[in-house]
Amino acid sequence: MTRTQTQFPQTPQSAQPAAKRAARYLNNTEAAEFLRLSPRTLEKQRVIGGGPRFRKFGRRVMYAIDDLEAWANARSFEMTCDPEYVALRAAGR
C-alpha cells in the first residue's frame, strides 16, 4: 500500500445520514427558532436560569441540539394539574 492510499474506505458525504452532517450547535437565534421561542427569552433565561444548557466559545453563545431537545423533553406534561407541572410553575421556571 502506498502513502497516498488509505486503509479505511472513504464514505462520501452524501452517503452519511443527514443528522451526522447537520450542525451540532446552534446560535441563539437558531436555537430560539428550533424551540419556537423568542431569542430574547433565551437571553433572559441565560441570566436568570431555567433555560437550556449553553456553551460559550469566546464571545459566542452556542446551544447543542441534544441539550435543547433534553430541555424541551423535561417540560413535557400530560395536563396542567400534573404535580410535576405544578412544582415547576411554583419554582418560577
**Series of mean pLDDT values for 10-residue runs along the chain (93 residues):** 53 53 84 97 95 96 96 85 79 68
C-alpha 66/C-alpha 56 separation (Å) is: 16
| Identity of the amino acid at 35 | L
Q: Which residue has the cell 433555560?
A: 51
pTM: 0.66
Looking at residue 38, what is its pLDDT?
Answer: 97
C-alpha 70/C-alpha 52 separation (Å) is: 8
Fold of 23-90: Multidrug-efflux Transporter Regulator; Chain: A; Domain 2 (1.10.1660)
Closest CA to 54 of 75, 73, 32: 32
